[in-house]
Chain A
C-alpha cells in the first residue's frame, strides 16, 4: 500500500496540465497533476529527472511552413516532410508504399509520461504501409518549425509479411527552444526485414523526446539505429517486443553528447516468445560537461526458451567533466536461454593515438579517426552507400562542432 502525498507542481508541469486540459484529455491532465513529472525515484527515469530538467514548456504547436534547413539529405531517398505534426503527402510515393493520415497517436497505452502526452496531444498519425521490397530509402523528415512550440507527432509504420525496407526518421527544426515528443509505432511482419533509424538533430536549445515501439513478428529481422546528435535535453524510449518465434533484432545506437547536454536512451526489450535472438549494442560519447545515459532492460518470458540476447554498452569519455551512465538489466523467467550484458567506459587509448600520430597524422585527426573507429561497429552494418555516407557525415559534423 502506498500513500500519495500531493506533489508540488512546477511551471513545466502546470503548462502541460493546462495543455492537456485544453484538448480535453482530462484523465491525462489529472494523472499528471497527481504524480507530476518523473523524478529519479521512478526507476525508468533514474538518470533523467524530468521534474528537475524540464524547466518550461512552450505553447502547443500550430501549422507552420518548413523554413529550417534540411538536417540531413539522403540522395535518392523518398522523403515525407512532417512539419509541426502534419505530414505533407505529395501522392508520388513508390508503388510499394501506401500512406494515409489517421486520427490520434499510434502508440499503445503504457505507464510512461511521454506516451501519455503523445497519446493525448498528437492529433494525427502518418500511417505507412510497405508491401514488397522498397528500394528507395524512406525518409520521414520531422521538423519543429516557427517559434518555440510543443510538438507531438506520430508515425505508424507497418512492413508487411516478407517485405523489405529501410526507413530513417530525422528530428530537427528552427533554432528555438522547442519541446518535441515524437512517436513511432513500428510493426515488422512475418519474415520481413527492416532497418529503422531515428536521428535526433534538433537545434541546440530544443528538448527532444521520442518513443518508438517495435512489434516483431515470426522470422522477421529488424535493425534499429537510434542516434542522438542534437538537442540540449533528450530522452528516447525504445519499447521492443518479439511476438513471433525465430525473429532477430539488432538494436543499436549512438548517444553523442556535447557540453551542456543531457541525453538518455532507454531500451526495454521483451522476449515474449521462444527462439528469438537479439544483440543490443549502444555506444555513448560524452564531451565537455555533459550527461550520457543508457538503460537497457531485457525481459525474457517464462516460455521464451532458446532466447539468445546479448546487451552491450560502450562509453567513451572525451572530457573529465562528462558523465556516462549505464544500467543494464536482465529479467529472465525462462531456464534455457543464453543472455548476457556488458558495460565498459574509457577514454581514448593513448597507445593507439601515439601509433597514428607516429605515422604523421595530426592529433585532432587521429582522435577523430579513433572516435569514428569506435562508432564504426554501429554504422558499418547499415546498408546503402548514400545512407551510410549521410550518417557518417552526422558523426563527422558532431565531432567537428
Chain B
C-alpha cells in the first residue's frame, strides 16, 4: 500500500481554552480529491489553518502526516516547502508588496528549501504568463500590490494562480467558492480541475454543494462539532443538501 498524501490522526486543537478540533481522523490518498462539508462554526476553517500552521492554535493531541512526513513541528513556510498549499477563504491584502515580487520570492524560497536553483527571470515570467492565461489573470493585476484592491473573484483566481505556480502535492481549498458568481466559480473550478493529477491530492472545504458540481470529489466527509462524522461517495453531498446538516449531528457519538 502506498503512503497516503495526507493523513490526519485524532487531531485535537484549541484556541485559548476552547477546543475546536475534537479528534479529526481523515486520510486522503494520492491522486484523490476529498471534500469536507459542514455548517458554519463546525471547525472546517480551523482545520485548514491548523494544517497550514497558523500560530493561534494549540495542538493538544494527534498527528498530521504529509506524504509520510510529520507536519506539526514545521512552521508554515516549511510546510509549504514540503508541498502543502492552503487556498485562503479570505486572501490577505498586503500593501507595498508587488504581486510579482511576492510570487517570485515564494517560488524561489520553495525551490531553495528543496535544494533546487532559483528560477531565471524569463522562465519565471513565462510560467506566470502561462498560468495566468487560463485563469484570466492579466498582467495589470500582477502589477498591483498583493491582493490590494482585488475583487473577490480576482483574489480567488490569484490564489489558484499561486497554487498552479507552486505545484504543491497537497492542496487545501478553504471555501474557495465563497464570494464567487457563477462565471467566476467556473473559471476557478476549471483552474483547480486542471491541477488534478495522480501525484497530487486535494481537500476541498465547502459550505455548499454547488462547488462540488464543478470540482467532483472522490470522497465527501461530513464535519460536525470538530470532527468527521460521516464519510461517503459524492452522493453524500447531495444527501446533505436534501437533509441538511441536522441529520448528521451526533452520528459519530
A218 CB to closest chain B CB (Å) equals: 34
In the complex, the answer to whether B77 meets A362 with C-beta atoms within 8 Å is yes
A38 CB to nearest chain B CB (Å): 36
Chain B residues in 8 Å Cβ range of A393: none
Interface centre among B52, B81, B96 (most CB of A within 10 A): B96
Instruction: Say whether A370 faces chain B, with CB atoms less than 8 Å apart.
Output: yes
Contacts A359-B106, A361-B106, A370-B94; A354 near B162 (Cβ below 8 A): no
The reply to whether B96 and A372 contact each other, CB–CB distance below 8 Å, is yes
Task: Please measure, in the bound complex, the distance between the C-alpha atom of A360 and the C-alpha atom of B55, giving whole angstroms.
Answer: 15
Interface segment, A97-105, A167-175, A324-332, A373-381?
A373-381
User: Which residues of A are found within 8 Å of B92, using beta-carbon distances?
Assistant: 349, 351-352, 354-355
Contacting pair A358 B76 (CB below 8 A): yes
Residues of A within 8 A of B113 (CB): 360, 362
Residues of chain A within 8 A (CB-CB) of B76 are: 354, 357-358
Instruction: Return chain A residues, CB-CB under 8 Å to B81.
Output: 360
State whether the Cβ of A356 lies closer than 8 Å to any Cβ in chain B: yes
- Which B residues lie within 8 Å of A373 (CB)? 94-97, 145
Q: Give which listed residue, A350, A351, A358, A370, contacts B97 with CB less than 8 A.
A: A370
A374 CA to B96 CA, complexed, in Å = 6
Collect the chain A residues with CB atoms within 8 Å of residue B53's CB: 354, 357-358
Interface residues contributed by chain A, number (CB under 8 Å): 25
Q: How far apart sit A377 and B94, CA to CA, in the bound complex (Å)?
A: 13
Indicate which residue in B75, B77, B102 contacts A369 across the interface (CB closer than 8 Å): B102
**A259 contacts partner chain B, Cβ-Cβ < 8 Å:** no
Which of B53, B92, B145 has the most chain A CB atoms closer than 10 A to its own CB?
Answer: B92
Give the distance to chain B from A195, nearest Cβ to Cβ, in Å.
20
Is A359 in contact with B94, judged by CB distance below 8 angstroms? no
Cα distance A365–B81 in the bound complex, in angstroms: 14
A363 adjacent to chain B (CB < 8 Å): yes
Q: Does A337 contact B (CB under 8 A)?
A: no
Q: Is A80 an interface residue (CB 8 A)?
A: no
Contact status B88-A366, CB under 8 Å:
no
Task: Please measure, in the bound complex, the distance between the C-alpha atom of A207 and the C-alpha atom of B145, giving whole angstroms.
Answer: 38
Distance A362 CA – B53 CA, assembled complex (angstroms): 13
A361 to B88, CA, bound (A): 16
Q: How far is the CA of A369 from the CA of B94 in the complex (A)?
A: 10
Report the Cα distance A352→B81, complex, angstroms.
18
In the complex, whether B110 has a CB less than 8 A from a CB of chain A is: yes
- Partner pick for A352 among B94, B110, B162, CB 8 A cutoff: B94
CB contacts (< 8 Å) of B55 on chain A: these are: 350, 354
Q: Would you give the shortest CB distance from A393 to chain B, in whole angstroms?
A: 16
- Give CA–CA (A363, B85) in the complex, Å: 17
Chain A residues lying within 8 Å of B101, measured Cβ to Cβ, are 369
Within 8 A of A (CB), among B63-91: 75-77, 79-81, 85-86, 88, 91
Q: Are A360 and B52 in contact (CB under 8 A)?
A: no
- CB <8 Å contact, A358 and B52: yes
CB nearest to B168 among chain A residues: A360
Closest to A366 in B: B77
Contact of B109 among A350, A361, A370 (CB under 8 A): A361
Name the CB-closest residue of B to A355.
B92
* Bound Cα distance from A376 to B105, whole angstroms: 17
Q: Is B142 an interface residue (CB 8 A)?
A: no
Please report the C-alpha to C-alpha distance between residue A358 and residue B94 in the assembled complex, in whole angstroms: 14
Q: How far is the CB of B86 from chain A (nearest CB, A)?
A: 6
Residues of A within 8 A of B133 (CB): none
| Complex Cα spacing A349 to B101, Å | 19
Given contacts A350-B55, A354-B55, contact A359 B96 (CB under 8 A): no
Bound-state CA distance A88–B62 (Å) is 71
Residues in chain A near residue B86, CB distance under 8 A: 358
Our pick among B54, B77, B91 for the contact of A361 (Cβ within 8 Å) is B77
Q: Which residue of B lies closest to A372 (CB)?
A: B96
Q: Is the CB of A375 within 8 A of B96?
A: yes
Chain A: which residue is nearest B79 at the CB level? Answer: A358
Contact of B80 among A351, A357, A372, A377 (CB under 8 A): A357
Complex-state Cα separation, A365 to B107, whole angstroms: 13
The contact of B96 among A350, A351, A366, A377, by CB within 8 Å, is: A377
Instruction: Provide the residues of chain B in CB contact with A380, threshold 8 Å.
Output: 96
5 further interface pairs, Cβ-Cβ under 8 Å (given A352-B92, A356-B106, A373-B97): A349-B92, A357-B53, A357-B76, A357-B80, A359-B166
20 sampled A-B residue pairs with Cβ under 8 A? A354-B55, A355-B92, A355-B94, A356-B106, A357-B76, A357-B80, A358-B53, A359-B77, A359-B166, A360-B77, A360-B80, A360-B113, A361-B106, A361-B109, A365-B109, A370-B97, A373-B94, A373-B97, A374-B96, A380-B96
Query: Which 6 pairs between the two chains have the least Cβ-Cβ distance?
Result: A373-B96, A376-B96, A360-B80, A357-B76, A360-B110, A359-B106
A residues near B (Cβ < 8 Å) are 349-352, 354-363, 365-366, 369-370, 372-377, 380
